[in-house]
């Protein structure tokens, strides 16, 4: 199976978001990766429902929504109504994680949990069986264009072993500093899905960058 590629709209041209969305529609990208930031959990603010709702109307691929916000359980239903297909919350931001995951699933969305670079995968031991996806941050969350944290490769290997030992189908997604070189290391370590922002949208030929990532 080819690698799932989820280009991050955080790196798109916001003056031409419709154009960039159409490019993704016509590319080999699998998902649209949407980073939601509240300025509290991470030191940055991105877009909200006013951008997500119209985007869901033009996107012909699932919206892979990554919540970098405090108390994400407050907005689960609103993100469902705004068009999210996959909803990922941070372990570090979710006090009642099991309840939040069940809430996401009850609405028919795929449920994911994200881990910051310093958070070990072992912390998922009691929740991994309930997850459709685990998102490992390979940069510190909050800003695009950061350098890749090499330890993410070993972390991916550990998570792959945890999933395989339990015979689960949980997707491993990696976000941060992804390019052909780091992407190859991550796929070889067991990643199924790659989030790429700057690497795709700053490329001379974004569709070719997406195609190359899928072939890793």
Active-site residue list? 35, 175
Closest CA to 55 of 27, 26, 20: 20
Q: What does each C-alpha distance from 36 to 8, 39, 99 come to in angstroms?
A: 11, 10, 21
User: Please, is 146 exposed, middle or buried when counting C-beta atoms within 10 Å of its C-beta (0-12, 13-18, 19+)?
Assistant: middle
- What span, in angstroms and rounded, lies between the C-alpha atoms of 132 and 169? 7
Identify the bridge partners of residue 115 per DSSP, sorted by sequence position.
136
Count other C-beta atoms under 10 Å from residue 58's C-beta. 13
- What span, in angstroms and rounded, lies between the C-alpha atoms of 15 and 89? 28
Q: Are 10 and 46 in contact (CB under 8 A)?
A: yes
């Amino acid at each position: 199976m080819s690698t799932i590629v989820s280009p991050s709209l955080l790196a798109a041209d916001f003056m031409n978001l419709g154009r960039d969305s159409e490019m993704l529609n016509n590319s080999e990208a699998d998902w649209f990766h949407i980073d939601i930031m509240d300025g509290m959990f991470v030191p940055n603010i991105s877009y909200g429902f006013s951008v997500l709702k119209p985007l869901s109307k033009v996107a012909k691929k699932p919206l892979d929504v990554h919540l970098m916000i405090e108390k994400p359980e407050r907005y689960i239903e609103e993100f469902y109504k705004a068009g999210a297909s996959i909803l990922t919350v941070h372990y570090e931001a979710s006090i009642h994680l099991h309840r939040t995951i069940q809430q996401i699933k009850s609405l028919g969305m795929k449920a994911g949990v994200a881990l910051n670079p310093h958070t070990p995968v072992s912390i998922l031991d009691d929740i991994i069986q309930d997850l459709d996806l685990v998102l490992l941050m390979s940069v510190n969350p909050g800003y695009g264009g950061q350098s890749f944290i090499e330890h993410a490769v070993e972390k991916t290997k550990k998570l792959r072993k945890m999933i395989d030992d339990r015979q689960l189908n949980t997707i491993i997604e990696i976000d941060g500093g992804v390019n052909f070189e780091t992407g190859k290391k991550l796929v070889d370590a067991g990643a199924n899905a790659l989030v790429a922002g700057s690497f795709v949208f700053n490329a001379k030929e974004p569709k070719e960058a997406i195609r190359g990532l899928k072939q890793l």
